[in-house]
Amino acid sequence: GKNEYDLLVIGGGSGGLACAKEAAQFGRKVAILDYVEPSPQGTKWGLGGTCVNVGCIPKKLMHQAALLGSALKDAQHYGWNIAQPVHHTWSVMAQAVQNYVKSLNWGHRVQLQDKKVKYFNMKGSFSDPHTIRGLTKAGKETIVTAENIVIATGGRPKYPTHIAGALEYGITSDDLFWLKESPGKTLVWDVSLECAGFLTGVGLDTTVMMRSIPLRGFDQNKQFFSPTQQQMASLVTEHMESYGTKFLKRCFPIKVEKLESNRLRVTWKNTDLGTEEADSFNTVMWAVGRAPDTETLNLEAVGVKTNSETGKIIVDASEATSVPHIYAVGDITEGRPELTPTAIAAGKLLARRLFGHSSEMMDYDNVPTTVFTPLEYGCVGLSEEAAVQCYGSDNIEVYHAYYKPLEFTVAERDATQCYMKMVCLRESEQRILGLHFIGPNAGEVIQGFALGIKCGATYPQLMKTIGIHPTCAEEITKLHITKRSGLDATVTGC
Amino acid sequence: LICLQEAAKYEKKVMVLDFVTPTPLGNSWGLGGTCVNVGCIPKKLMHQAALLGQALQDSRKFGWQFTEEVEHNWMTMTESVQNYIGSLNWGYRVALREKKVTYENAYGEFVTPHTVKATNKKGVEKLYTAERFLIATGERPRYLGIPGDKEYCISSDDLFSLPYCPGKTLVVGASYVALECAGFLAGLGLDVTVMVRSILLRGFDQDMANKIGEYMEEHGIHFIREFVPIKVEQIEEGTPGRLKVIAKSTKENEIIEGEYNTVLLAIGRDACTRKIGLEKVGVKINEKTGKIPVNDEEQTNVPYIYAVGDILQDKLELTPVAIQAGRLLVQRLYAGATSKCDYVNVPTTVFTPLEYGACGYSEEAAVEKFGEENIEVYHSNFWPLEWTVPSRDNNKCYAKIICNIQDNERVIGFHVLGPNAGEVTQGFAAAIKCGLTKEQLDSTIGIHPVCAEV
C-alpha cells in the first residue's frame, strides 16, 4: 500500500478525536497527532484539546464554584446557619479541577487505545499532500503518510503584542485554568465575561476593561454574539455589574510594567475623557480573541487555502479544503461556530462520509449555545437584529417577558435581568426564528427548545405545550406580550 | 383564578368564592389554592432549601471554606416561605380587584338551579345567581381512617406552615407528594422513613420510579415496604411530640412498631365535590372517586356548569393544565375562540432529591399500546460535570427516550433523571409537540457542557 494510514488527524481536540474514533469504528487504519505548544508563560497540558484542558470543562467547573458561592449566600435565607466569614481558596479549586481534567486526558488516551487509533504526541507539518512530518518535544522526527488527512488544530489565544509588556507579563485563558495560586486582583482586556464572572464569584477583585461594547470580541461568527446582540449583552453585563465585577468602558491599555512588589502596573487610555489612567493588579489577562493554529502546519507547501483576514482554513459544505483528500474541522475552519459540539458532529459525519458510505452533511443552522456568565445566557437561532435584517421588522414578531425564578424569592436575589424573548415570523404559521433566555441553567432550558426549532416549531405549537410548574423554562410556553405592543412584559402571579 | 381574570377581560360580571376548610389540626390559608399555599410553591422552595444543603457540601470541594458544623433552622425557612406565599395571596387579591372580579371568602354550595349559597367564616349566608358556573374546588389530602390519624398525623396541608421542626418523621405513602416531602425533609438533615404499601409512584414509568427510590435509599432515607399503619398513639405531647405507629404487613401477619416525632400522611387526595350541593342541580359525579366527568370543552352534564382542575375525571392533576384549560374555556365562551385544551404529551416533573422529568408515554404504556417490537428505547447514564469535582454519584443520572418505529421513529416518551430535570424537560415537551423524530434529535447539536445535551 502507498499510504500507511487511511486517515491521519492532526490535532487531538474535540473535532479531531471524534473524527478519528468514528473512522476507526469502520475498521480503518487511523492515526492522530496531538501536540501542545507551551504558552508564553510556559503552561501546557495533555490530550483532549481546548475544550477539555483550557475551555468548556475547566470554565464550567470554575463557573460552578462561583455559583456555589452564591448558593452559600442563598442558603442562609433558606435556614442554613453558616458561621461567617466564608472564604474561597483558589488552590483547592484549581487542584480539583486540574485533577479532573487530567483524568479526562487519561480517558482519551485509553479510548484511543481501545479503538486502535495510533496516537503520536508530535507536532505535525505537511511535506506533501499525503505526508506529514511529525516532531516530538525532543526534536525526534517521524514521517507519516495517509490517504486522507484532517486538520483539526484549533486555535490559541491572541496576544495584543502592540502593548508593551503584554507578552512578558500578561496571561491568557490558556494559563488561567492552570494557575496553582490565586490570580488575586485581576484585570481582563478585552471582554471575557465568563472568566471575569467566575473570578468575581470566587471573591476576587476583578475588572473588565472594554474598548467598546460587550460581547463584541466574538464577532468572527456572525451568528453568535455579534455586535447586534446588544439587548442580551447589556442585560448580562448589567447583572455582572451588580454582582461586583468592575467595568472600565471605552478604555484600552497602553502598557504593562512590573513593579518591585511583583504586581503589575497597567496604564490605559480612557477614550471618553481623553485621559490616561493607571492602577496596579496581581494578574493581567488578555482576552482579545483566538487565532487559528496554522503557522507551523506548512499549509503553503500543499496549497491549502486560508482566509486572508482570519487565517482560518477555507472549507466547503463537506469540510473539504482546496486540496483533495485534505479536510478540516473545528475552530480552525472559516465561517463555522467555534463550539465543541459542532466540531464533534462535523468530525463524526466526515468520518462517516469518508468511510461509512454516508452522504449526510453537517447542518450548521440553529446551533444552540450558552454563555456561562454569573447569570447565564442561552440562545438558539437568529438574534432579533439578524431577523430584522433578514425579514424586515414588519414581518417579525418578538414576544418577551421579564420573570423571577422562584428560588430567587426567598433568597432575596435581584431578578431584574432575568429575561427571555422569542423571535417569530409574523405571517400565518408564525415559525420561531430565534429564542433567547437569560437566567439560571440557561443551557438546560434552551437545549430542548433547540430540538423544537429543528422541527420547525411555530408560536401556536409552543403555546399548546403545557408548562412544567414551577420552573423558569415554563415561562417560554407562556410568552404572549409583544415588543410591538409596548406593554409591560413583567410576569406576575404564581 | 385564571378563568376569572380572563373572563373579566371580556367585560363579564364575574365573582369568585374561595374558602379553605381548616385541616383537622386547625390549619388554613389564603387565596390561591393548593399550588400557591400547600403545593407546588412551598414544595419547590423547601426542595431548594434541601438542594442548597447539598450545595454547601459540594462547595467545599470547589474551594469554599467555612465551619464543619452547619445546621438547618426550620423556622427561618418556614417563615420565609410563608412570607412569600402571603405576598402571592395578596397579589391575587389585588389582581382580582384591578380586574373588577368580586371576591368573597365564603364556602359555596348549589341550592337551586343557577343559585349558589355562600357561607362565610362567621356563618353569615348570602345567595348569588349567575348565568354560568365554574367548579374548581380542587382536592384535599386523604386520611387513613385508622385510630389516631386525624388527631396526631399531619398532611401536606400542615407541613409547609408547621410552626416547629417536624423532627424524626414517618411519611406514609408512595405518591410524588410523599417522596418529594420525604426527600426535602431528609435533605434538611432530618431522620426520615417512608412506609410504602406496594409500589412507588403509581402511574409513572416504573423503571424511573425504582431508580428514584434507590437513590433516596442510598442517600439515607429508610423505606419500609409492604406495610400499612393500623394505629397511631401519642406517647408524649409536644412541638413536636412523640408518636407510636403500629403497622401491619400487607403480605403476612407481621406487626411492627416505630416511634416518630411526626407522621405525615401522603396517601392520596380526594376531590371536594361531595358537599357542594351538586345533587341539587343535577351534576353527575363519579360516585367512587368523587371526580367530575366533563366533555372536551370542560362542560359537565349540566350545560351551564363547567369544571376545571384537579376535580376532573381522567385528567392530570397539574397547575399548568388547570390554568391552560381555564384560560381556553373562557376564550371559547366569551371571545369566540375554538381552541380546546390539549391534554396529550403534558410534561411533568417530580422534585425528589434526584429530579425526574417526563413527557409522553412511560415504557410500560408504550409497550402496551404499540407492542414491544414496535418501540425502540434509547438510553444513557450521565455524570453531570458539576458532580465530578465533589465526587458525587457517577452512574445515577439517567435519560431515556422511547420511539415509535412504525412512525418514523417518532419520540413518544421522554424521561430524564438528574439535576434541573424540569428545566431540561420543558423544551423537549415543546419538541415532542412538534412531532420530534429520533433523526431530528440526532441532528440537533448539543449545548456543551450541560446535562440536557445527553
DSSP annotation string for A249-272: ETEEEEEEEE-TTS-EEEEEEETT
The per-residue pLDDT for A260 is 92
Asked if residue A362 belongs to a domain, the reply is no
- Mark which of A288, A309, A324 sits at the end of a domain: A288
Whether residue A385 sits in one domain with residue A246: no
The per-residue pLDDT for A222 is 34
Instruction: Determine the Cα–Cα distance for residues A121 and A124; give it in Å rounded to an integer.
Output: 9
Q: pLDDT tens digit string along B301-357?
A: 999 999 999 999 988 899 999 999 999 999 999 988 888 888 889 999 999 999 999
- Asked whether the beta carbons of residue A447 and residue B80 sit closer than 8 angstroms, the reply is no
Whether residue A112 sits in one domain with residue A17: yes
Asked if residue A139 belongs to a domain, the reply is yes
| Angstrom distances, CA of residue A192 to CA of A162, A218, B241 | 19, 10, 56
What percentage of residues in chain B have a pLDDT greater than 70? 100
Can you read off the three cell numbers belonging to residue B323?
390554568
Asked if residue A444 belongs to a domain, the reply is yes
A249 CB within 8 Å of a chain B CB: no
Checking if the pLDDT of B39 tops 60, the result is yes
The per-residue pLDDT for A1 is 54
Whether residue A244 sits in one domain with residue A209: yes
3-class DSSP state of B290: coil
Instruction: Determine the Cα–Cα distance for residues B186 and B175; give it in Å rounded to an integer.
Output: 17
DSSP B453: T
Nearest to B78 by CA among A314, A79, A241: A79
Suggest the residue from B29, B383, B447, B454 to mutate for an interface test with chain A (most A CBs closer than 10 A): B447
Instruction: Determine the Cα–Cα distance for residues A36 and A21; give it in Å rounded to an integer.
Output: 20
Residues in B touching A92 (Cβ below 8 Å): 61-63, 65
Where in chain B is CATH 3.30.390.30? 355-443
Residue B234's DSSP bridge partners are B243
Q: pLDDT tens digit string along B136-151?
A: 999 999 999 999 999 9
B82 CB within 8 Å of a chain A CB: no
Q: By the 8 A CB rule, do A396 and A388 touch?
A: yes
Would you write out chain A's pLDDT as a tens digit for each of its 494 residues? 578 999 999 999 999 999 999 999 999 999 999 999 999 999 999 999 999 999 999 999 999 999 999 999 999 999 999 987 899 999 999 999 999 999 999 999 999 999 999 999 999 999 999 999 999 999 999 999 999 999 999 999 999 999 999 999 999 999 999 999 999 999 999 878 999 999 999 999 999 998 876 554 333 333 334 544 678 888 888 999 999 999 998 999 999 999 999 999 999 999 989 999 999 999 999 999 899 999 999 999 999 999 999 999 999 999 999 999 999 999 999 999 899 999 999 999 999 999 999 999 998 888 999 999 999 999 999 988 889 889 999 999 999 999 999 999 888 898 999 999 999 999 889 999 999 999 999 999 999 999 999 999 999 999 989 999 999 999 999 999 999 999 889 887 55
Kindly indicate whether the ipTM for this predicted assembly is greater than 0.90, answering yes or no.
no
- Asked whether the beta carbons of residue B434 and residue A461 sit closer than 8 angstroms, the reply is yes
A466 CB within 8 Å of a chain B CB: yes
A180 CB within 8 Å of a chain B CB: no
Nearest to A342 by CA among A1, A9, A13: A13
Interface of B with A in 223-252 (CB under 8 A): none
Asked if residue A365 belongs to a domain, the reply is no
The per-residue pLDDT for B220 is 93
A89 CB within 8 Å of a chain B CB: yes
C-alpha A193, offset from chain centre? 11
Residues in A touching B440 (Cβ below 8 Å): 451, 454-455
Tell me the one-letter amino acid at B434.
C
> Given A97, A345, A406, which is nearest B44 (Cβ)?
A406
- Asked whether the beta carbons of residue A96 and residue B63 sit closer than 8 angstroms, the reply is yes
Whether residue A455 sits in one domain with residue A392: yes
Q: Which CATH number fits domain B355-443: 3.40.980.20, 3.10.50.40, 3.40.50.150, 3.30.390.30?
A: 3.30.390.30
DSSP B322-386: HHHHHHHHHHHHHS--------TT--EEE-SSS-EEEEE--HHHHHHHH-GGGEEEEEEEE--HH
B35 CB within 8 Å of a chain A CB: yes
Interface of A with B in 321-360 (CB under 8 A): 339-342, 345
Whether residue A352 sits in one domain with residue A309: yes
By residue count, chain A amounts to 494
Asked if residue A398 belongs to a domain, the reply is yes
The per-residue pLDDT for A214 is 59
Where in chain B is CATH 3.50.50.60? 1-138+272-335, 142-268
B45 CB within 8 Å of a chain A CB: yes
3-class DSSP state of A478: helix
B86 CB within 8 Å of a chain A CB: no
- Asked whether the beta carbons of residue B44 and residue A407 sit closer than 8 angstroms, the reply is yes
Cα three-residue angle A266-A270-A271, rounded to 5 degrees: 140
A147 φ, ψ (degrees, to nearest 5): -65, -45
The per-residue pLDDT for B385 is 87
> Given A445, A470, A493, which is nearest B44 (Cβ)?
A470
Instruction: Determine the Cα–Cα distance for residues B55 and B67; give it in Å rounded to an integer.
Output: 15
3-class DSSP state of B310: coil
Mean pLDDT of chain B: 93
Whether residue A152 sits in one domain with residue A11: yes
Residue A383 belongs to domain spanning:
375-484
Q: Which residue numbers of B are catalytic?
A: 448
Residue of A nearest to B347 (CA): A468
Whether residue A75 sits in one domain with residue A180: no
| Angstrom distances, CA of residue B115 to CA of A5, B70, B130, B376 | 87, 57, 7, 55
| Angstrom distances, CA of residue A71 to CA of A456, B53, B86, B279, B424 | 37, 9, 24, 53, 20
Instruction: Determine the Cα–Cα distance for residues A210 and B37; give it in Å rounded to an integer.
Output: 47
Instruction: Determine the Cα–Cα distance for residues A185 and A204; give it in Å rounded to an integer.
Output: 6
Residue of B nearest to A449 (CA): B427
**Does B164 carry a binding-site annotation?**
no
Asked if residue A493 belongs to a domain, the reply is no
Region of residue A45 (left: phi > 0; alpha: psi -120 to 50; beta: else):
beta
CB atoms within 10 A of CB A50: 27
> Given A69, A79, A470, which is nearest B64 (Cβ)?
A69
Q: By the 8 A CB rule, do A278 and A284 touch?
A: no
3-class DSSP state of A347: helix
Fold of B142-268: FAD/NAD(P)-binding domain (3.50.50)
Residues in A touching B166 (Cβ below 8 Å): none
Instruction: Determine the Cα–Cα distance for residues B449 and A194; give it in Å rounded to an integer.
Output: 14
- Mark which of A245, A261, A288 sits at the end of a domain: A288
DSSP B451: S
Tell me the one-letter amino acid at B338.
T
Asked if residue A404 belongs to a domain, the reply is yes
- Asked whether the beta carbons of residue B52 and residue A80 sit closer than 8 angstroms, the reply is yes
Checking if the pLDDT of B12 tops 70, the result is yes
Asked if residue A367 belongs to a domain, the reply is no
Q: By the 8 A CB rule, do A444 and B450 touch?
A: yes
Whether residue A168 sits in one domain with residue A283: yes
Residues 6+ apart with CB under 8 A from B161: B27, B29, B42, B78, B82
Whether residue A151 sits in one domain with residue A179: no
> Given A77, A92, A449, which is nearest B63 (Cβ)?
A92
Residue A265's DSSP bridge partners are A257, A280
Residues 6+ apart with CB under 8 A from B79: none
Whether residue A296 sits in one domain with residue A152: yes
Whether residue A297 sits in one domain with residue A229: no
Interface of A with B in 360-379 (CB under 8 A): 363, 366-370, 378
- Mark which of A267, A288, A309 sits at the end of a domain: A288
The per-residue pLDDT for A494 is 52
Interface of A with B in 393-432 (CB under 8 A): 406-407, 409-410
**Does A60 carry a binding-site annotation?**
yes
The per-residue pLDDT for A2 is 77
DSSP B4-70: HHHHHHTT---EEE---PPPTT-----TTHHHHHHSHHHHHHHHHHHHHHHHHHHHHHTTEE--S--
Instruction: Determine the Cα–Cα distance for residues A464 and B343; give it in Å rounded to an integer.
Output: 9
Fold of B1-138+272-335: FAD/NAD(P)-binding domain (3.50.50)
DSSP A311: -
Residue of A nearest to B357 (CA): A468
- Domain count within chain A: 3
Checking if the pLDDT of B239 tops 50, the result is yes
Can you read off the three cell numbers belonging to residue B176?
410524588
Instruction: Determine the Cα–Cα distance for residues B220 and B258; give it in Å rounded to an integer.
Output: 17
Q: What is the CATH number of the domain that holds A114?
A: 3.50.50.60
Instruction: Determine the Cα–Cα distance for residues B41 and A407; give it in Å rounded to an integer.
Output: 10
> Given B67, B88, B452, which is nearest A447 (Cβ)?
B452
Q: Which residue numbers of A are catalytic?
A: 469
A112 CB within 8 Å of a chain B CB: no
Residue of A nearest to B431 (CA): A452
Whether residue A278 sits in one domain with residue A215: yes
> Given A71, A462, A465, which is nearest B55 (Cβ)?
A71
Residues in B touching A477 (Cβ below 8 Å): 426, 430
